[in-house]
């Protein structure tokens, strides 16, 4: 057992070292860049604002410009594209905690794709639970067009510093979860009575 733990630890250390070397190699290749030097100096000075304006702000502006050019006319689609990591992290947590950890990220990807289709094509979000493979579909929460949009709108507002909509959306998600759990319990009780 101890040998197995050491082997796992060794593999993880190798993976992490490889990822770190990749980042360091990238940094080495751009170390002379003025923007990188300013960001490095701000980080060494422990100046978050300086780092933000030296590095994160220009990169964020570039990303947003690319997205605006590629997806004109839909601010919400642009936000989803530019900040998919933010939206994805929140959806992953909601699905892991309230819908079960199994396939939580698959559910996240399904919801993000559905949101993008809605924002860019106008296709209403509707999942087919009768299909052969439904493992990537939400089971307890964020199953409807309305609940998904309300949650996304809450995240969108929270990102820009207004969490009120997010709090309301989370209350609704928790209520949706409680109703789903009650329905499951009632179905289980009904099945037991039939036996």
**What does the pLDDT look like over 126-181, one tens digit per residue?**
999 988 788 899 999 999 999 999 999 999 999 999 999 999 999 999 999 999 99
Residue 148 is encoded by which pair of tokens? Answer: 């998904």
- Residues 67 and 145 grouped into a single domain: no
Residue 121 is encoded by which pair of tokens? Answer: 């094509």
- Residues 83 and 60 grouped into a single domain: no
Question: Quick one: average pLDDT of 59-66?
Answer: 90
Provide the number of structural domains found in the chain.
2
Kindly tell me the burial class for residue 62, based on how many C-beta atoms sit within 10 Å of its own C-beta (0-12, 13-18, 19 or more): exposed
Question: Quick one: average pLDDT of 92-104?
Answer: 94
- Residues 82 and 56 grouped into a single domain: no
If one compares 3 and 70, the residue with the highest pLDDT of the two is 70
Question: Quick one: average pLDDT of 4-31?
Answer: 62
What is the predicted pLDDT for the residue at 11? 47
- Residues 14 and 101 grouped into a single domain: no
- Residues 44 and 88 grouped into a single domain: no
Contact call for residues 95 and 104 (beta carbons, < 8 A): yes
Residue 7 pLDDT > 90: no
Cα separation, 177 vs 150, whole angstroms: 15
What is the predicted pLDDT for the residue at 10? 53
Domain extent, residue 159, equals 77-194
Contact call for residues 27 and 36 (beta carbons, < 8 A): yes
Domain end among 43, 73, 103: 73
pTM of this prediction?
0.80
- Residues 122 and 64 grouped into a single domain: no
Question: What pLDDT band is residue 188 in, cutting at 50, 70 and 90?
Answer: confident
Contact call for residues 158 and 165 (beta carbons, < 8 A): yes
Mean pLDDT, all residues of the chain? 88
């Amino acid at each position: 057992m101890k040998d197995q733990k050491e082997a796992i630890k060794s593999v993880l250390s190798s993976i992490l070292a490889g990822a770190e070397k990749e980042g360091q190699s990238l940094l080495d290749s751009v170390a002379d860049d003025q923007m990188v030097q300013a960001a490095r100096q701000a980080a060494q000075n422990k100046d978050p604002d300086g780092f933000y304006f030296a590095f994160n702000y220009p990169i964020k502006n570039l990303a947003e410009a690319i997205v605006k050019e590629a997806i004109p006319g839909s601010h919400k689609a642009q936000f989803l594209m530019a900040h998919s990591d933010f939206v994805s992290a929140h959806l992953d947590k909601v699905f892991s905690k309230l819908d079960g950890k199994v396939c939580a990220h698959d559910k996240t990807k399904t919801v993000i794709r559905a949101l993008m289709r809605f924002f860019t094509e106008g296709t209403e979000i509707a999942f087919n639970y009768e299909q052969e493979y439904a493992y990537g579909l939400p089971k307890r929460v964020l199953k409807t067009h309305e609940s998904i949009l309300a949650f996304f709108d809450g995240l969108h507002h929270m990102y820009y510093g207004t969490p009120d909509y997010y709090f309301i959306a989370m209350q609704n998600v928790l209520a949706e979860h409680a109703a789903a759990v009650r329905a499951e319990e009632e179905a289980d009780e009904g099945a037991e009575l039939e036996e």
